[in-house]
């Protein structure tokens, strides 16, 4: 159930708050007086809003038990969320309703809410816009139908790097840079064909 994160709370400090927000309208998700104000960003198009109210809610995530068999939904309690402006979705595919943070912060999904698994994830990109991709957290196994092969044997591992210079539009010089990057060797990269 949704509840606001109040200023000066532990959850607010973990979220690296930038302000304390008063919205002076009837209370609702994303609008509650004396709530933690955070930064909401769409890094794809470098759009940012500062002072967005932070709340917490329950999130249900599909889970698997042996790498292939669907299990019950895993419920993440007190998951940090913001209700930002719709322009923050600009440049994202049709049907996308939000952005999930995977940065090196205490409020990212993989660091606070799935603590019992390895800090690894697999991202399987679809081969067409009609298909859906999948993201899996932890060591696996990652077994998909119809072949039932354990995919880590054929996946490539790419370590996530920390950039010494932030690319985020809002950051603190004294604070750590939270973005992830991957190393790319320009001499080994190949040009993508034109659509």
pLDDT at position 195, please? 45
Q: What is the pLDDT of residues 117-133, one digit of tens each?
A: 566 777 777 778 787 77
pLDDT-wise least confident of 71-80, 90-99, 170-179: 170-179
Q: Name the percent of the chain lying above pLDDT 70.
A: 71
Please tell me the distance from the alpha carbon of residue 148 to that of residue 83, in angstroms, as a whole number. Answer: 39
CA nearest to 42, candidates 3, 104, 97: 97
Please tell me the distance from the alpha carbon of residue 88 to that of residue 69, in angstroms, as a whole number. Answer: 35
CATH architecture of 3-112: Beta Barrel (2.40)
DSSP codes of every residue in 1-67: --EEPBTTSHHHHHTT--EEE---S--BTTB-TTEEEEEEEETTTTEEEEEEEEEEEEEEE--BSSS
Looking at per-residue pLDDT, the higher value among 178 and 14 belongs to 14
Looking at per-residue pLDDT, the higher value among 103 and 144 belongs to 103
Please tell me the distance from the alpha carbon of residue 53 to that of residue 195, in angstroms, as a whole number. Answer: 40
143 backbone dihedrals φ, ψ, rounded to 5° = -115, 125
Q: pTM for this structure?
A: 0.70
Could you tell me which residues are beta bridge partners of residue 35? 6, 21
């Amino acid at each position: 159930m949704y509840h606001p994160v109040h200023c000066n709370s532990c959850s607010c400090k973990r979220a690296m708050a930038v302000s304390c927000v008063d919205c002076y309208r009837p209370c609702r998700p994303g609008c509650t007086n004396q709530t933690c104000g955070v930064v909401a960003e769409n890094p794809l198009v470098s759009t940012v809003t500062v002072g967005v109210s932070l709340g917490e809610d329950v999130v249900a995530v599909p889970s698997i038990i042996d790498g292939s068999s669907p299990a019950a939904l895993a419920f993440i309690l007190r998951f940090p969320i913001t209700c930002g402006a719709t322009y923050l979705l600009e440049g994202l595919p049709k049907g996308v309703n939000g952005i999930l943070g995977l940065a090196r912060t205490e409020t990212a999904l993989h660091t606070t809410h799935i603590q019992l698994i390895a800090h690894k994830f697999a991202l399987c990109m679809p081969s067409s816009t009609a298909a859906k991709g999948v993201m899996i957290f932890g060591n696996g196994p990652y077994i998909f139908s119809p072949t039932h092969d354990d995919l880590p044997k054929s996946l490539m591992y790419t370590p996530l790097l920390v950039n010494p210079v932030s690319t985020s539009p809002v950051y603190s010089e004294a604070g750590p840079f939270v973005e992830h990057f991957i190393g790319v060797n320009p001499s080994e990269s190949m040009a993508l064909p034109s659509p």
